[in-house]
């Protein structure tokens, strides 16, 4: 990973005052920045729903019920990741360091993915160098997509905005089957290399086998619907998880409103870290109670990137402070409705697939 040097700009003063105002808010309220009773309820709720729908799926007496409960279970597992895994990875789901680590590892590994790989690189790469090729692990060089300016423009990229939704369906399956597994042998479409410790390789393989066990083997063995129905449900579940996952997260960082900065030869980024965060994320429906509850604050991505030490259950209360401080320091806070952010995502795909250089679209709110 290329470690970069940030510059000084007005973003530093903005960030300093933002932290001071946020600290004052929590001190005045006499509450912790970590999860509160609402978060404890959400943790219990989402894990209970995971178990409930799995139990109902395993008790299904008709194929319709089997598919319905299988897909509901998959959706709830994803919502558990949004609402529990993510905050736990940042150590803010609960106060206890031990229980944060346990919640993160349990909820993530039981999805068939490796908690260590995602947690380490999410915190140390994506959060630090958002959208910077060669430093942010979430920047891809997938030959079927042109996501960065350094990638060679090929004839079929002009159609990527059309075939993207179809390929997005494969995101979760690719993650489970190939993404982490190929990292073991140092093969990845990521623009930075990922080294996985031997113990984590063992855990990676073990939990993928466990996942196959309760998602495929158990339903095939204990239910009478046949392996074809179980396999189809498994694939449809990954399609559903993929499209929801990409729809929630893809619009925040892959947009024609955001910067995709390149570092200089001497590894300077040309802006401060807070400015980078504000220029590389688009928030949508930031003050929506529904989105905050279901998406775990992922719709308020800029807010989260600047304040990862705050649990998402507090976002709605501190959002006015965030807006006020940004406005005071003439920092553009890009927040819009979901439909506008989705259109900006597909404009990004369209432009990246047709033009060598793509200027950032001015955000007008």
As given in the structure block, the two tokens for residue 146 are 């042109």
Token reading at 232: 């189809």
Q: How far apart are the two ends of the chain, measured CA to CA in Å?
A: 34
List, in sequence order, every residue forming a beta bridge with 335; answer none if it has no partner. 283
> pLDDT tens digit string along 175-206?
888 877 777 777 665 656 677 888 888 888 89
The answer to whether the CB of 94 falls within 8 A of the CB of 103 is yes
Q: Quote the pLDDT of residue 188.
A: 63
Provide the angle, in degrees to the nearest 10, between the axes of the packed helices 160-168 and 338-352.
120
Question: Which pLDDT belongs to residue 362?
Answer: 84
Task: Give the C-alpha separation, 174 to 180, whole Å.
Answer: 9
Q: Tokens representing 204?
A: 């990676």
pLDDT tens digits, 309-354: 999 999 999 999 999 999 999 999 999 999 999 999 999 999 999 9
Task: Work out the burial of residue 24: count CB atoms within 10 Å of its CB; fewer than 13 is exposed, 13-18 middle, 19 or more buried.
Answer: exposed
Confidence grade of residue 26 (pLDDT, cut at 50, 70, 90): very high
Other Cβ atoms closer than 10 A to 223: 17
Instruction: Judge whether 61 and 349 are in contact, CB under 8 Å.
Output: no
Per-residue pLDDT band at 365 (split at 50, 70, 90): low
Chain position carrying tokens 């319905």: 68
Q: What is the DSSP string of 275-287?
A: HHHHHS--EESTT
Strand ranges (E), 248-357: 283-284, 335-336
Answer whether residue 84 shows pLDDT above 80.
yes
Average pLDDT, the chain: 90
Q: Which helix (H) or strand (E) holds 238?
A: helix 227-253
In the prediction, which pLDDT does 129 show?
A: 85
pTM above 0.75?
A: yes
Give tens-digit pLDDT for 30-47.
999 999 999 999 999 999
Task: Please give the angle made by the CA atoms of 124, 305 and 122, to the nearest 5 degrees.
Answer: 30
What pLDDT, on a 0 to 100 scale, did the predictor assign at position 128?
85
Nearest Cα residue to 301 out of 125, 86, 121? 86
Contact 73, 53 (CB under 8 A): yes
């Amino acid at each position: 990973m290329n470690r970069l040097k940030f510059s000084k700009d007005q973003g530093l003063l903005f960030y300093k005052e933002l932290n001071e105002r946020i600290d004052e808010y929590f001190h005045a309220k006499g509450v912790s920045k970590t999860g509160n009773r609402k978060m404890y309820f959400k943790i219990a709720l989402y894990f209970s729903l995971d178990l409930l729908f799995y139990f109902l799926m395993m008790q299904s007496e008709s194929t319709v019920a089997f598919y319905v409960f299988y897909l509901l279970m998959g959706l709830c597992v994803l919502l558990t990741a949004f609402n529990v895994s993510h905050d736990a990875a940042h150590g803010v789901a609960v106060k206890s360091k031990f229980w944060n680590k346990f919640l993160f590892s349990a909820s993530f590994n039981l999805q068939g993915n490796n908690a260590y790989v995602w947690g380490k690189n999410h915190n140390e790469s994506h959060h630090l160098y958002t959208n910077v090729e060669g430093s942010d692990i979430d920047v891809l060089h997938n030959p079927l997509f042109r996501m960065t300016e350094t990638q060679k423009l090929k004839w079929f990229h002009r159609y990527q905005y059309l075939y993207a939704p179809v390929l997005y369906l494969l995101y979760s399956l690719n993650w489970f089957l190939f993404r982490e597994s190929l990292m073991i042998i140092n093969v990845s479409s990521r623009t930075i290399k990922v080294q996985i410790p031997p113990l984590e390789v063992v855990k990676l393989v073990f939990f993928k086998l466990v996942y196959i066990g309760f998602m495929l083997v158990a339903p095939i063995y204990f239910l009478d619907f046949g392996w074809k129905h179980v396999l189809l449900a498994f694939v449809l579940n990954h399609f559903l998880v993929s499209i929801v996952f990409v729809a929630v997260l893809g619009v925040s960082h892959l947009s024609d409103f955001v910067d995709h900065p390149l570092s200089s030869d001497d590894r300077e980024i040309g802006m401060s870290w807070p400015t980078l965060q504000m220029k590389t994320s688009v928030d949508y429906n930031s003050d929506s109670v529904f989105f905050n509850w279901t998406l775990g604050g992922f719709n308020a991505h800029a807010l989260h990137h600047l304040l990862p030490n705050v649990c998402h259950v507090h976002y709605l209360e501190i959002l006015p402070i965030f807006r006020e401080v940004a406005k005071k320091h003439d920092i553009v806070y890009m927040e819009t409705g979901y439909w506008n952010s989705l259109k900006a995502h597909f404009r990004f795909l369209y432009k990246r697939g047709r033009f060598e250089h793509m200027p950032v679209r001015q955000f007008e709110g």
